[in-house]
Chains A and B, each alone.
Chain A
Amino acid sequence: MEKEDVNVRVHDIQIKGNKRTKDWVIESVLGKMKEATTLQDILLEAAKASVQMERMDVFERWVINFDVGPPELPGTTNVIVEVVEPERPYSCNVGMFSRPESRKWSLEGTLKWKNLLGYGETWDGTGCYGWDSTAENSVGVNFPRFRTWPAGFFTRVSLLSQDWHKYSSYKERLLGVSTGLIHDNNHELSYNLTWRNLADPSHRASKTVRGQLGHSLLSAVKYSYRLDTRDSSVRPTEGFAFSTSSQIAGLGPDARLSRFFRQELDFRFAVPLGVFNAALNLGASAGLIVPWGKDFLSKSTPLSDRFYMGGPSCLVSELRGPFSLVGFRTRGVGPRELRRLVKSGNEEEIGKRDTLGGDFAINGFADLSFDLPLKFLKEHDIHAHVFACSGNILSLADRKNMTAQKFFSGFRSSVGAGLVIPTRMFRLEINYCRVLKYQENDRVRKGFQLCFSPP
């Protein structure tokens, strides 16, 4: 068999053990097995089918057997697929989580139901309630294989409320449907239709925020490409990662849709230094959002889609755009505007500002990590790092008066050092930061900071 092809054809495919799953779902996984003409091709297709069955994640176990075909048809084989479906196709997780950046707790629960309709799909419902009455509820369904399409298909309906009152004097409610057509390790293509409503119940928003309150509809396609060759996302010592995300909103004949183009780029690079398991990580991120359509130069971008910089973040592991700038508070960097003056109100509120976000953001960092000379710490891969980062964030309204000198002088920068505790579930950093340069009205956070990031 290793030296020459063995001519065998598939005569019949039999599916056994499926009480709920439709036959065609399993047959579609087998791909081109029926068209295979050699034993080698049949075994290759069987291996591919095995991978697909695992991705579907709706069976407890499965086995693909081959039996001799009917005697009157020599050179044929029958393929027998036996599956065992789980008795309990549902699972539930509930937990309390803390968010150090906002010093709040939230109760989160997830319910999953697999193969409810027999199409190999997974249904899930997620609820998240914060102690500050923010809430996120979503229901989704994921089809790992949709008929004969080569890729999976997922769709999700979500109702989300976010409270940005503390930073920008508005609360946001979103009701949306998102549908993904491509979703694999590198590529993701999705369409999102979301109804947004921004409100300010406290009546203290600044003029710019007041002008953006109300209802809007987002109809957008987003394409993301991600390539990560680093040896680890929690403690990378070698390799690079690249991520790009492009979103175009306003798809549809209705000119009243929110219209903008948004682009994000991330790049990470890790170089091993050979001693003390040290590695130098370099990274840069940039983002741009511009409106499009008639008179686009006079339009402003939606507050919800702008870039915001600041808050505790792990520079090395996260690839989510120009968000990170250690040493600054959440949404603490960038254009800000004075809030409404309420004469009879709380004196503490006087002089406070709303963060407006930026249309262009760029940041970069350098991080040197190394082992500490303690056996206990080495065993648990707890190591130290020193870092420096810098970033800038601008509004499109600044473009007319912008010069190269102004642009570079507007950069903020910080340095720091700390301890990194990587675990299977997250990467924890305990850092001490010192801000070297900031702009007027930035909200600086000096001293010790905690940061969690998923692996």
Chain B
Amino acid sequence: MAEKKNNGGMALRVRPPAFGLPTACPKCLASLLYLRLANITFWPEYSAAMPDSDDLPMVELGLLVGFASEPGGVEEFLRTEKLGDLDADLAEVDRSELKAFKSLLVPLSDALQLELWSRENESIAHKIYVSHLPWPINRAIEWNMRRKLMNRLGVNKENAKDREAEIYKCAFDAYEAFSAKKQMDSLYLVSDKPTSLDAMLLAHILFVLSVPLVGSILKDELVSKHPLLVQYAESMKDTLLKSNEPSPSDSVKSPPTSPRASSHASSSSRDKDKGTNPEPKRKQTPKEKEFRKRGKMFVMAQLAALMAYIVYSGLPFEEDDGDDNGHDDD
């Protein structure tokens, strides 16, 4: 059974919302749905200045932070810090099945990114990732992100059609597998409770259905051949996309001033230096002692070299005292 924990202080930093989705970034949407399925209370904070960062989404709880770029991502952070685990109560068999099906999400993600970053959908990708950045850096970042994605997918001008066909075939096979899995009479994919797999697949399907991608082959395939998956997503849509969280940050572009910044600038003062350090005193490690010793030797060596230079070069300091000897130039 998934842990239910009221973490009123948790923030999920994601890319901004668009197209009726709480966040228009597919990766961030998966983490957001994970938290909602796990009934973990959080509020979304939007970060529009990092479109090309792998760190998003990130979860913040006080001084604890989980980054998507770290091993296991947000899911692993929540599990390690005992904040929530959708897969906690799975049987061993179901856990193995979960891992196997998770590998099918990779071709789905690749196909989705291929469609999103195609030339026909330039404006959609622009709106999702870089619309909050000023021109011309938004265009430069967009160009760079597209270039990196195509390099990762191995798509170039010569092999574009073949490579795209290959990617779509893998995606269609994944849809087939998920459809077959969903045909078994259960509310969720693996067990009778939502798992991380449900969060990821629902994020993918909801994105494909909600975002108006031009010439979307994935959408056509889903709608025409996999009505069960569409029905599965539609049935969960209202529950998952309706926000029960506290109000998000007002501004996407510039985050509000942090109250912590002022609270740590304490107004307490000491009139006399009583020999205590302002930061908590702790025992110096041998490494620190060695570093300090080397630092002092460095400073003394500099001083000695400078004094020697001054003494032996006879370096005068010539100052123009403005004396006018009264000579005319003529």
Chain A residues engaging chain B, CB cutoff 8 angstroms: 98, 100, 103, 195, 199, 203, 206-208, 210-217, 231-232, 234-235, 252, 254, 256-257, 291, 295, 298-300, 334-341, 348, 351, 353, 356, 379-381, 394-398, 401, 406, 409-410, 421-424, 428, 430, 434-444, 446, 448, 450
Q: Closest residue to B316 on the A side, CB-wise?
A: A380
Q: Mark B303-330, 1 if CB is under 8 A from A, else 0.
A: 1001000100001111101100000000
Q: Quick one: given A210-B65, A215-B137, A338-B264, are A380 and B317 in contact (CB under 8 Å)? A: yes
Total number of B residues with any Cβ neighbor in A under 8 Å: 67
- Contact A450 B264, CB 8 Å, known A351-B280, A435-B273, A438-B269: no
Interface contact B64-A340, CB-CB below 8 Å: yes
B-chain residues with CB within 8 Å of residue A232 when the two chains form the complex: 319
Q: Cβ of B67 < 8 Å from any Cβ of A?
A: yes
| Residue pair A298, B251 in contact (C-beta under 8 Å) | yes
C-alpha gap A386/B262 in the complex (Å):
34
Counting CB contacts under 8 A, is B133 at the interface? yes
Q: Does B266 contact A441, Cβ atoms closer than 8 Å?
A: yes
Q: What is the chain A residue whose CB lies nearest that of B258?
A: A208
| Interchain CA distance A353-B263 in the complex, whole Å | 13
A353 contacts B264, C-beta separation under 8 Å: yes
Q: Which of A103, A199, A298, A351 interacts with B256 by CB under 8 Å?
A: A298
Residue of B nearest to A381 (CB): B317
Structural contact, B50 and A213, CB atoms closer than 8 A: yes
- Give the contacts of B245-301 with A (CB-CB under 8 A): 250-251, 253-262, 264-273, 277-280, 285, 288, 295, 298-299
Q: Report whether A397 and B262 are in contact in the complex, using a CB–CB cutoff of 8 Å.
A: yes
Chain A residue with the shortest CB-CB distance to B322: A231
Question: Do B264 and A215 touch across chains, with their CB atoms under 8 A apart?
Answer: no
Contacts of B69 in A (CB 8 A): 203
CA distance A100 to B298 in the complex (A): 9
Q: Contacts A395-B262, A423-B310, A428-B306 given: A434-B273 contact, CB under 8 Å?
A: yes
A368 vs B41: C-alpha distance when bound (angstroms): 61
Whether a CB of chain A sits under 8 angstroms from the CB of B47 is yes
With a 10 A CB-CB cut-off, give which of B67, B133, B258, B322 has the most chain A CB atoms. B258
Q: Is the interface of B mostly helix, strand, loop or mixed?
A: loop
User: Quick check: A397 and B285 within 8 Å, CB to CB?
Assistant: no
The 4 closest A-B pairs by CB, nearest first: A214-B49, A341-B63, A211-B255, A335-B265
Point out the residues of chain A lying under 8 angstroms from B306, CB to CB.
Answer: 421, 428
Would you give the shortest CB distance from A174 to chain B, in whole angstroms? Answer: 12
Would B278 and A397 count as touching, CB distance under 8 A? Answer: no
Is A444's CB under 8 angstroms from B278's CB?
yes
Q: A443-B278, A450-B303 are in contact. Are A340 and B251 (CB under 8 A)?
A: no
- Check A398/B262 contact, CB under 8 A, given A213-B50, A300-B255: yes
Chain A residues with Cβ below 8 Å from B50 are 213-215
Cβ-defined partner of A337 (8 Å) among B261, B272, B279: B261
Decide if A215 touches B257 in the complex (CB within 8 Å): no
A450 surroundings in chain B (CB, below 8 A): 299, 302-303
Distance between Cα atoms of A435 and B278 in the complex (Å): 11
- Which A residue's beta carbon lies closest to that of B55? A203
Q: Which residues of A contact B270 (CB under 8 A)?
A: 437-438
| CB of B60 within 8 Å of the partner chain | yes
Q: Pick the residue among A210, A252, A428, A446 that contacts B273 (CB under 8 A).
A: A446
Query: Which residues of chain B in 130-177 are interfacial with respect to chain A, using CB atoms and an 8 Å cutoff?
Result: 132-135, 137, 140-141
Q: Select which of A212, A337, A443 is within 8 A of B255 by beta carbon.
A: A212
- The reply to whether A351 and B279 contact each other, CB–CB distance below 8 Å, is yes
Interface centre among B260, B315, B322 (most CB of A within 10 A): B260
Closest Cβ–Cβ distance, residue A402 to chain B (whole Å):
9
In whole Å, how far is A418's beta carbon from the nearest beta carbon of chain B?
A: 12
Q: Is the CB of B63 within 8 A of A395?
A: no
Point out the residues of chain A lying under 8 angstroms from B268, CB to CB.
439-440
> B264 touching A336 by the CB < 8 A rule?
yes
- Which chain A residues border B221 with CB–CB below 8 Å? none
Residues of A within 8 A of B264 (CB): 335-338, 353, 441
Interface residue ranges of B52-104 to A (CB < 8 Å) = 53, 55, 58, 60, 62-65, 67, 69-70
A207:B315 contact, CB within 8 angstroms: no
For the complex, give the distance between the alpha carbons of A331 and B237 in Å: 49
Report B-chain residues with C-beta under 8 Å of the C-beta of A406.
267
Q: A213-B49, A437-B271 are in contact. List 8 more A-B contacts (CB 8 A).
A: A203-B55, A212-B49, A214-B51, A300-B258, A336-B264, A337-B260, A409-B267, A444-B277
| Chain A contacts for B303, CB-based, 8 A | 430, 450
Across-interface contacts of A298 in B (CB, < 8 A):
250-251, 256-257
A295 partner residues in chain B, CB cutoff 8 A: 250-251
Q: List 20 A-B contacts (CB under 8 A).
A: A199-B53, A208-B261, A210-B58, A212-B49, A213-B49, A232-B319, A300-B254, A300-B255, A336-B264, A341-B63, A381-B317, A381-B319, A397-B261, A410-B265, A421-B310, A423-B317, A424-B318, A438-B270, A450-B299, A450-B303
